[in-house]
């Protein structure tokens, strides 16, 4: 019998000592709690990391533990809600010269690092990533990003703050990238991403939940949704404004059965 593990991350505020401000948001913890409840309702063994507990060390440890324990036919569901950001692409695998990242409480976790983590999952494992953060359209794999500004509250660090945070911690981040494999990792699992926006867009915050998570939960309808991942994505997309278009993408191994499953099915 297949098993499902879930890790749900919500970061309403970040460490001002590292980032320069606490980047306060409102809906990210609520998003993580909602994803955690959804996972538990689907039979996943679920873990939740919020705010100061959502550190790089804790998140990386949990991903690696899942990769070590899951076998072919199992599923790992990871959700992230918080700021997304960008750092200079030091290994030159991005056309725009920038890597995308999740802003965990104490430091950023970069897309190149996530790509390595996915390569640690065994063949036949399904990985589902739900990311309600800015520039998350290719957070599972490097891609292009540009800034679009509106008067709403985006889950993205302002450009000046992002640049200052990089400058203050440049040695730390360049050291992380230097330790990664030079060649792109071979990913044997099937890694599916449902993200809050495209790489050239922001994901927007809300008082209760993020804009993307709100629509995802409404389409999910407490488990009454019937359809596959593509249909799930299309229904969410149809409910979103033009400034925020959720993405659905797959990297790694092809898994036709995963393609046709109902979302969050173990």
CA distance 9 to 113: 17
Give me the DSSP letters along 87-123.
EE-TT---TTSEEEEEE-SSSEEEHHHHHHHHTTSPT
Q: Which of 103, 134, 135, 197 is catalytic?
A: 134
pTM check: above 0.85: yes
Higher local confidence (pLDDT), 142 or 94:
94
Q: What is the pLDDT of residue 119?
A: 96
CA distance 49 to 80: 10
Which among 3-12, 82-91, 111-120 has the top mean pLDDT? 3-12
Provide Rg for the chain, Cα atoms. 17
Task: Say whether 134 is catalytic.
Answer: yes
Span 54-80, pLDDT tens digits: 999 999 999 999 999 999 999 999 999
Residue with tokens 């320069």: 20
Span 126-151, pLDDT tens digits: 999 999 987 554 455 444 433 333 34
List the one residue out of 55, 68, 69, 84 whose CA is nearest residue 2: 69
List the one residue out of 20, 158, 154, 145 whose CA is nearest residue 89: 145
Domain ranges of the chain: 4-260
- Average per-residue pLDDT for the chain: 87
Q: Which of 83, 103, 135, 197 is catalytic?
A: 83
> How long, in residues, is the chain?
266
CA distance 28 to 48: 12
The rounded percent of the chain whose pLDDT value lies above 90 is 65
Task: Say whether 83 is catalytic.
Answer: yes
The answer to whether the CB of 235 falls within 8 A of the CB of 226 is no
Q: What fold, for 4-260?
A: Rossmann fold (3.40.50)
Higher local confidence (pLDDT), 182 or 233:
233
């Amino acid at each position: 019998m297949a098993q499902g593990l879930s890790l749900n991350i919500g970061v309403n505020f970040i460490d001002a000592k590292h980032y320069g401000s606490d980047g306060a948001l409102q809906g990210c913890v609520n998003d993580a709690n909602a994803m955690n409840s959804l996972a538990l309702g689907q039979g996943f063994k679920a873990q939740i990391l919020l705010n100061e507990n959502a550190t790089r060390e804790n998140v990386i440890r949990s991903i690696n533990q899942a990769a070590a324990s899951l076998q072919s036919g199992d599923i790992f569901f990871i959700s992230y809600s918080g700021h997304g950001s960008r750092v200079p692409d030091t290994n030159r695998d991005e056309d725009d010269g920038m890597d995308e990242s999740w802003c965990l409480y104490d430091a950023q976790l970069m897309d190149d690092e996530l790509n390595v983590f996915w390569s640690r999952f065994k063949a036949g494992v399904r990985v589902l990533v739900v990311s309600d953060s800015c520039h998350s359209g290719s957070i599972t794999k490097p891609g292009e990003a540009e800034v679009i500004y509106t008067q709403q509250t985006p889950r993205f660090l302002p450009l000046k703050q992002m640049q200052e945070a990089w400058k203050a911690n440049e040695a730390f981040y360049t050291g992380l990238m230097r330790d990664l494999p030079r060649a792109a990792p071979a990913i044997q699992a099937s890694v599916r991403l449902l993200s809050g926006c495209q790489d050239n867009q922001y994901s927007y915050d809300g008082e209760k939940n993020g804009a993307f998570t709100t629509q995802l939960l409404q389409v999910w309808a407490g488990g009454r949704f019937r359809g596959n991942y593509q249909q799930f994505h299309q229904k969410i997309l149809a409910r979103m404004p033009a400034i925020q278009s959720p993405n659905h993408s797959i990297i790694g191994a092809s898994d036709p059965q995963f393609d046709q499953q109902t979302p969050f099915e173990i």
